[in-house]
A = this chain, B = another copy of it.
Amino acid sequence: MIENDGREAIDRADAVSGKTRDALRAAHLYYMQDLTMDAIAHELHTSRSSISRLLSHARASGLVEISIHSPLDLPSRIEQEILERHEVRAHVVPVPDHASDVDRLDRVALSAARILGQYVDSNQAIGVAWGSTMSAMSRHLVPKATHNTEIVQLNGAGNVRTTGILYASELLRRFGDAFGARVQQFPVPAFFDEPATKQAFWRERSTRRLLDLQSRLDVALFGVGSPFAEVPSHVYQGGYLERADYQALSRDGAVGDVATVFYRADGSTDGIGLNERATGPDFAVLRRAPRRICVVSGRAKLPSLRGALAAGLITDLIVDEGTARALVDA
């Protein structure tokens, strides 16, 4: 049996690399030499359909990378303005104003997933938060081969409901798969019931290991939550917070959260009680990551976004056009 398994693995690897080789060649012929799929099929002694599939595979697996460069003399006015006002590099995703929130989120997530490849590289620790934005992104990641890269869960997810949302572990796994990276789970609830429990947990050596990883991230990736928007992000639907928690947040003046840590419009977090029980990294820790990518879609998140900007949490922002416009208009 063992020998059989070994043999099978080798065969499969060969088959895969043969496929990759073909895909690479087809991609050259198609994208570099502008041959038609028909012509390629002829050269590779197969059918046109197979070439079509092979090319799809080549794109989906990141063999072919398509990038878009604005000419240097024509940076989008909005991106320019965001850069000047907030010292944040913005990617504005064009989305028509009349698009639904679901559409908008999907389209921003799709673009973000494709842009992400630029930021991910070998030998990095990449912190990933958890939420509907990250979930949508995780479904569109373009694979990119890396070595020795780790995906680190930023905040606990405990208590997940199955209402269509992804389990955090599944979400993280997708990131890990896409980049050939190890995944470091953080098996705690999103919020502890008691601050004391959190503190106790935080002293555990296994927890310390993860916190240590979090403090040495190269890239952090997150959305923002807006607890008081009409369409609250799903952390607020999943039953993580009680009515009393909302009241407390409201009283404390919180306008949003990043990885379950809440902040006010001015970016401050001091004295927001709930944070004592939250599992996400302290902003001082988060800000150690040289690149902090925030993905936001929908005007409803504007106040949260402003707060996160005020807190200096963001170095790179991926945002839909309408929200970007609203951000610079006011």
Chain A positions within 8 Å of B, measured between CB atoms, are 17, 20-21, 24-25, 27-29, 31-34, 43, 58, 62-74, 76, 93-94, 96, 107, 110-111, 114-115, 145, 147
Contact = CB atoms under 8 A, between A and B. Distances in A.
Given A24-B70, A43-B96, A70-B24, A33 B65 contact: no
8 contacts: A32-B93, A32-B115, A34-B110, A63-B68, A64-B66, A65-B67, A65-B69, A71-B145
A223 to B, nearest CB: 18
Contact of A94 (B29, B64, B66): B29
Contacts of A63: 68-71
A140 to B, nearest CB: 9
Nearest to A72: B145
A24 B107 CA distance: 16
A29 B103 CA distance: 13
A20 B65 CA distance: 21
B72 A33 contact: no
Contact of A68 (B64, B93, B94): B64
Contacts of A34: 110
